[in-house]
Amino acid sequence: MRKIIVAIDGHSACGKSTTARAAAKILGYYYVDTGAMYRAVTVYFLEKHVALTNPKEISRALTDIKVTFKINPAGVTETYLNGLNVEKKIRKMEVSQNVSQISAIREVRDAMVDAQRKLGKSRGVVMDGRDIGSVVFPDAELKIFLTADLLVRAIRRQKELLDKDELVDLDTVIANLRQRDEYDSTRKESPLIKAKGAIEIDTTHITIDEQVDEVIRLAMGRMINKN
């Protein structure tokens, strides 16, 4: 069977990462969480107080940043920033509140898209984000666009934060998701759109297992279909 690229895009907290991670495991593919890459850049920019209005400073900072992934003993992919595990840090609310602004900067996008294309150049990857099917790999054999109701997404995200010992009230989570949806969809650089040829899956009323099954079914179809 040929190796393909599975591109999964959609709004914040639709279950993209959970679905992509599980699908990659079943397919024996590499999983790339591109949101984690933008989050790691955000951590660096916040910690180093990079001036977001200074393109030179931004470009210089980007040359100092290396984002990598490692699989931990439990089989879960974790994000590293310049060799340090930042998996917990990147999921913090403070990072969520700044990541949309930082990921909208052209220099940041150019650097990340370049890194993402390198990670997927041999195919055999499941990559999730906002612009994977539209910009990073417009030739991906399978493009998925996930959607879900805002309230359902907020409840899922609040639980995720709680699992990481961060208690955030539902209104704050809803406001953050709404703001990021708006920002990600209306920004000038690579806005979130449903890519040409993408298959939409609404996850509001289906379980993660059902989401994953559907992605695997579609991926298998693409892997045996040579066209």
Question: Which residues of the chain form contacts with ligand DC (CB under 6 A)?
Answer: 12, 34-35, 38-39, 99-100, 103, 129-132, 180, 184
**93-96-102-104 Cα dihedral, nearest 10 degrees:** -160
Residue type, 58: I
Nearer to ligand DC, 118 or 217 (CB): 118
Length of the chain: 227
Looking at beta carbons only, is 27 or 176 nearer to ligand DC? 176
Given the structure tokens 């990021």, which residue do they identify?
180
Using the minimum distance from each CB to ligand DC, give the nearer residue, 34 or 203.
Answer: 34
For 78, residues 6+ apart whose C-beta sits below 8 A from its C-beta are 69, 70, 71, 72, 85, 87
Least CB distance to ligand DC at residue 227 (A): 27
The secondary structure element, H or E, covering residue 146 is strand 142-147
Question: Phi and psi at residue 33, in whole multiples of 5°?
Answer: -95, 95
Please, what is the minimum distance in Å from the beta carbon of residue 225 to ligand DC? 26
Closest distance of CB 12 from ligand DC, Å: 4
Nearer to ligand DC, 141 or 190 (CB): 190
101 vs 223, beta carbon nearer ligand DC: 101
Nearest approach, Cβ of residue 100 and ligand DC (Å) = 4
Give CA–CA dist 155/68, Å, rounded.
Answer: 29
Using alpha carbons, select from 156, 175, 159 the residue that is nearest to residue 167: 159
- Minimum distance, C-beta of residue 21 to ligand DC, in the bound complex (Å): 12
